[in-house]
């Protein structure tokens, strides 16, 4: 249960981040944020199933995991160009230690890319792992 709450808290933090950056002007930073919001949206779908706010649907859950894998695979592409916007929370460490950032970003893709869940318990574990992966990357690379 604690892990589910932690994953949900990470989802809420990402949601707050998206709402806080409504005044972003730089198109590259906007693209970063749109990608992260798409991941949040898929995580919300999964979270609703985990919290029994929506019926468990293995096909829908696996589709969300697949989309998260696609969005996360785009992270290195989107962040390949450094951009500056007052609303950005991206740390310079992303570009000063690019190989480490790519490796960290790949963890979410690897976690969700070939994963298939068949039960609510498997989905709960996946959400917990997604939350931990997001928290790890953001703890290092986001201000």
From the number of C-beta atoms within 10 Å of its C-beta (0-12, 13-18, 19+), residue 135 rates as middle
**Angle at the Cα of 109 from the Cα atoms of 103 and 113, rounded to 5 degrees:** 145
Structure confidence by residue, pLDDT tens digits, 49-75: 999 999 999 999 999 999 999 999 999
Q: What contacts 32, CB < 8 A, 6 or more positions away?
A: 78, 79, 83, 88, 90
Task: Identify the weakest region by mean pLDDT among 18-32, 35-49, 124-138.
Answer: 18-32
Q: Where are the alpha helices (DSSP H) in the chain?
A: 2-20, 27-50, 58-73, 75-79, 93-96, 98-113, 120-141
Mean pLDDT of the chain: 90
């Amino acid at each position: 249960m604690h892990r589910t709450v932690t994953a949900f808290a990470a989802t809420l933090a990402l949601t707050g981040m998206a709402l806080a950056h409504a005044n972003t002007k730089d198109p590259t930073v906007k693209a970063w944020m749109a990608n992260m919001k798409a991941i949040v949206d898929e995580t919300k779908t999964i979270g609703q199933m985990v919290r029994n706010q929506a019926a468990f649907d293995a096909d829908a859950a696996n589709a969300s995991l697949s989309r998260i894998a696609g969005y996360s695979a785009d992270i290195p592409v989107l962040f390949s160009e450094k951009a500056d916007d007052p609303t950005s929370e991206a740390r310079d460490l992303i570009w000063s230690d690019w190989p480490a950032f790519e490796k960290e970003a790949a963890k979410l893709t690897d976690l969700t890319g070939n994963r298939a869940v068949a039960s609510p318990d498997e989905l709960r574990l996946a959400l917990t792992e997604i939350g931990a992966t997001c928290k790890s990357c953001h703890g290092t690379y986001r201000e």
